[in-house]
Amino acid sequence: MVTSIAAPLEPTIVSGLRRKGAKLQGDTLVSLVRIAGVLLLAGAALGGCCKAPCAPVKGATSDDPGSRVPGAIVVDFKDGTTKAEFDAWEKEWGIDLEFNSIEGPQDGVTIAVGVQDVEAVLAKIRRHPAVEAAEPLKKYQKTFIPNDPQFGKQWNLRQIHMPEAWELSRGKGVVVAVLDTGIAYADYQDFRQVPDLKGIKFVKGYNFVNDDEHPNDDHGHGTHVAGTIAQATNNNEGVAGIAFEAALMPLKVLDESGMGVSADIADAIRFAADHGANVINMSLGGGGYSRVIENAIAYARRKGVTVVAAAGNTGLGQVAYPAAYEGVIAVSAVGPSGKRAPYSSFGKQLDIAAPGGDKRAGPEGGILQNTIDGRNRGESLYKSLEGTSMATAHVSGVAALLYARGARSPSEVEKALFDGASPVNGQEWSEEYGHGLLNAEQSLNLLGRDASGTNWPPLFLAAGLLVLVLLTLLPRRRPGYLNVLMSPAFFIPLVLATVGVFFARWAFGGAQGVAAQMVDYASLPIPDWQRFLFGRGRLANPLFYSALIPLAGSAFAIALKRLHHVVAGLAMGFAGFLLYAAWSRAPGLAFLPFNFLALPWLIANSIICLFIARAMLDKEVGR
């Protein structure tokens, strides 16, 4: 499972905070500037831990050959319609249309960008008598259809939009470690390389089961998983794989009966991290909680490695270890219909769903790759398998594509994977599908945009917080009210409620055991302390994401006047946090899984928080 952490902040913020502790008697303007600066930085911190799509562009449907350009529409007027005419009409629609090209005055084709509610605007436009057609603007993406003869059977690769994704990335320069039964990667003694891995790059691996340097496969599972990640593709042979220009690192941790021990797996994770792997694929699970494996995973993550693991095949609502550890992407399996396969485990640590196959209707519902016959080593065959192992390999493959396209950290990879995933049943997150169904094309596109675009969201957020503060305070023109904001009693709860003790991990990152857990919780904003009670599920408890805590604080403050500053800061922080959660659609709320319920809840509660803050400061300043 993966939970995002607050981004480390620049030292300027810490010194900025220290300044807040000093007595400030500067004039109003100076105070204002300081508030603006600190809020800006607090906003940047919050933006860094944005879990939800910062741009709510999701899932072009699969029957759609082109994908929609966000906020853009095309309107075809009757031939000969003039600019003056549609300039007059567009005011009513609230958009700005322009001719698409010099052909415009003849063919009447116009476009508009920056449209807020595309569907509503289109419905209005279509009613106009001069409009022949109005629709979302589509981008026609080139696709790459490999010549592998059995590619037509790979429904799974179309399901995750690989033909479009291969135009953007093929995994060049990335290393994926496969912790499994080995890979049929080379000829050695009785072992043979399977033909459809010919031409794939391999980096030095290790056999932790027999303690030698020959991690050849004596089972078949590992070779199949490796095939999904990087089968030789467009080679006129067999089937395709996702990141076929990436390199594979074979690490044998499971014996010929498909079993392994925690020590070998922990060692293999560290080996991969130390030998340049970018992604670790663990299509294995069970054995319960192991501190040794958990530490190895934390080590790999610190070295910038994305770790992916299978949710398990019990069909029950409990994610298996190692997928359930913090910092691991937990993957469930779907069949060709996109529904969770009945064997797939699920649960509160689940992160994403991917094709794992469903063979109830026949082998064509499984995942087809080149592997070996476990009972006859060396014998190559194309085999259809189902399992969360297969699903995991898809996510690892796409993670490799993301690294090749410029992702620099596991957090960036996860953000692109989760934001790019196609939501299932309209839910932002669910125990069965996590953030939704893997979508390679969408994830790669989101990554590209994040890398090149301006980091506006945190700036918007900071500006929003500033406006909140000013709107709450400016109407009461009493001397000294801004200095109230600079007092630690106000400011510390504000920071705690919005970004938590954001520097805790940075300052105490090496802590162990209970201390480490304390650091983890301290670095969460107050509303996320609900995880302490309810675990690290994907859905937040709506009582914590509400005005309840500031409200309880204000009850105490009636008796204790000294608490007014504290409660005001807390309430202001909550207001900012809840509005941010509403704006970023993150995370989903338990019991209110749908946006149409969660959004009004968050907004109404942040307004209550603002009233509390205002009332508290009113009393304080009034005396």
Partner 1 sequence: MKLSGRVSFREMEGGVWVLEGDDGRTYQIAGGDGRLRKSGQRIEVEGEVDSAALTLAMVGPVLKVKRYRPL
Work out whether 261 is an interface residue with partner 1 (CB under 8 A): yes
Work out whether 380 is an interface residue with partner 1 (CB under 8 A): no
Q: Least CB distance from residue 284 to partner 1, whole Å?
A: 5
Q: Least CB distance from residue 250 to partner 1, whole Å?
A: 15
519/158 Cα distance (integer angstroms) = 43
Among this protein's residues, is 221 annotated catalytic? yes
Which residue in 73, 121, 247, 284 binds partner 1 (CB under 8 A)? 284
Which residue in 181, 281, 427, 498 binds partner 1 (CB under 8 A)? 181
> Which H helix or E strand runs over 484?
helix 481-486
- Binding segment toward partner 1, per CB under 8 A, in 53-61, 186-194, 249-257, 425-433: 249-257
Which residue in 70, 71, 287, 406 binds partner 1 (CB under 8 A)? 287
Neighbours of 271 (CB within 10 A): 22
Work out whether 367 is an interface residue with partner 1 (CB under 8 A): no
Q: Least CB distance from residue 51 to partner 1, whole Å?
A: 27
Q: Which of 221, 435, 564, 565 is catalytic?
A: 221
Q: Least CB distance from residue 290 to partner 1, whole Å?
A: 8
Work out whether 397 is an interface residue with partner 1 (CB under 8 A): no
Q: Least CB distance from residue 285 to partner 1, whole Å?
A: 4
Q: Least CB distance from residue 202 to partner 1, whole Å?
A: 21
Own/partner long-range contacts of 530-537 (Cβ < 8 Å, ≥24 apart): 531/3, 534/590, 535/348, 536/1, 536/3, 536/326, 536/348, 536/349, 537/348, 537/349, 537/590
Q: Least CB distance from residue 258 to partner 1, whole Å?
A: 4
- Residues in the interface with partner 1 (CB under 8 A) total 37
Among this protein's residues, is 337 annotated catalytic? no
Per-position DSSP letters for 404-471, written without gaps between them: HTT--SHHHHHHHHHHHSBPBTTBS-BTTTBT-B--HHHHHHHHHHHHHS--HHHHHHHHHHHHHHHH
371/88 Cα distance (integer angstroms) = 65
Which residue in 374, 410, 542, 588 binds partner 1 (CB under 8 A)? 374
Q: Which is nearer to partner 1, 81 or 290 (CB)?
A: 290
Q: Least CB distance from residue 234 to partner 1, whole Å?
A: 27
- Binding segment toward partner 1, per CB under 8 A, in 194-202, 309-317, 446-454, 611-619: 309-317
Work out whether 377 is an interface residue with partner 1 (CB under 8 A): no
Work out whether 349 is an interface residue with partner 1 (CB under 8 A): no
Q: Which is nearer to partner 1, 289 or 456 (CB)?
A: 289
Residues 6+ apart with CB under 8 A from 178: 222, 225, 226, 229, 248, 249, 250, 251, 281, 283
CA 438 to chain centre: 11
Query: Strand, helix or coil at 188?
Result: strand
DSSP H helical segments within 26-103, as ranges?
Answer: 28-48, 83-93
Q: Which is nearer to partner 1, 251 or 612 (CB)?
A: 251
3-state secondary structure 333-382: EECCCCCECCCCCCCCCCCEEEECCCHHHCHHHCEEEEEEECCEEEEEEE
Residue 178: closest CA among 320, 313, 277, 305? 277
Q: Which is nearer to partner 1, 108 or 347 (CB)?
A: 347
Q: What residue has token string 């409200």?
A: 551
Which residue in 278, 345, 472, 605 binds partner 1 (CB under 8 A)? 345
Work out whether 269 is an interface residue with partner 1 (CB under 8 A): no
Count of CA atoms in the C-beta half-sphere (13 A) of 413: 28
CB-count burial class (<10 Å; 0-12, 13-18, 19+) for 89:
middle
Work out whether 262 is an interface residue with partner 1 (CB under 8 A): yes
Q: Among positive and negative, which fits the CA dihedral 477, 478, 483, 484? A: negative
Residues 203-232 that bind partner 1 (CB under 8 A): 219-221, 224
Beta bridge partners of 371: 381
Work out whether 387 is an interface residue with partner 1 (CB under 8 A): yes
Which residue in 207, 313, 396, 442 binds partner 1 (CB under 8 A)? 313
Work out whether 173 is an interface residue with partner 1 (CB under 8 A): no
Which residue in 63, 190, 211, 288 binds partner 1 (CB under 8 A)? 288
Which residue in 320, 424, 468, 539 binds partner 1 (CB under 8 A)? 320
Give 10's DSSP letter.
Answer: P
Q: Least CB distance from residue 317 to partner 1, whole Å?
A: 14
Work out whether 241 is an interface residue with partner 1 (CB under 8 A): no
Q: Which is nearer to partner 1, 53 or 374 (CB)?
A: 374
Query: Strand, helix or coil at 540?
Result: strand
Q: Which is nearer to partner 1, 17 or 354 (CB)?
A: 354
317/326 Cα distance (integer angstroms) = 18
Q: Which is nearer to partner 1, 287 or 423 (CB)?
A: 287
Residue 320: closest CA among 352, 286, 351, 370? 286
For 280, list phi and psi in degrees, rounded to 5. -115, 125
Work out whether 359 is an interface residue with partner 1 (CB under 8 A): yes
Work out whether 285 is an interface residue with partner 1 (CB under 8 A): yes
Q: Least CB distance from residue 179 to partner 1, whole Å?
A: 10
Work out whether 182 is an interface residue with partner 1 (CB under 8 A): no
Q: Which is nearer to partner 1, 358 or 520 (CB)?
A: 358
Instruction: Check: CB of residue 552 under 8 Å from CB of residue 607.
Output: no
Q: Which of 380, 389, 443, 584 is catalytic?
A: 389
Q: Which is nearer to partner 1, 170 or 383 (CB)?
A: 383
Residues 569-588 that bind partner 1 (CB under 8 A): none
Instruction: Check: CB of residue 437 under 8 Å from CB of residue 422.
Output: yes
Residues 6+ apart with CB under 8 A from 42: 13, 462, 465, 494, 495, 498, 499
Give 320's DSSP letter.
Answer: P
Instruction: Check: CB of residue 190 under 8 Å from CB of residue 386.
Output: no
Among this protein's residues, is 267 annotated catalytic? no
Work out whether 275 is an interface residue with partner 1 (CB under 8 A): no
Contact residues for partner 1 (CB under 8 A)?
A: 180-181, 219-221, 224, 253-254, 257-262, 265, 283-288, 310, 312-314, 320, 322, 343, 345, 359, 374, 383, 385-389
Residues involved in catalysis:
180, 221, 389
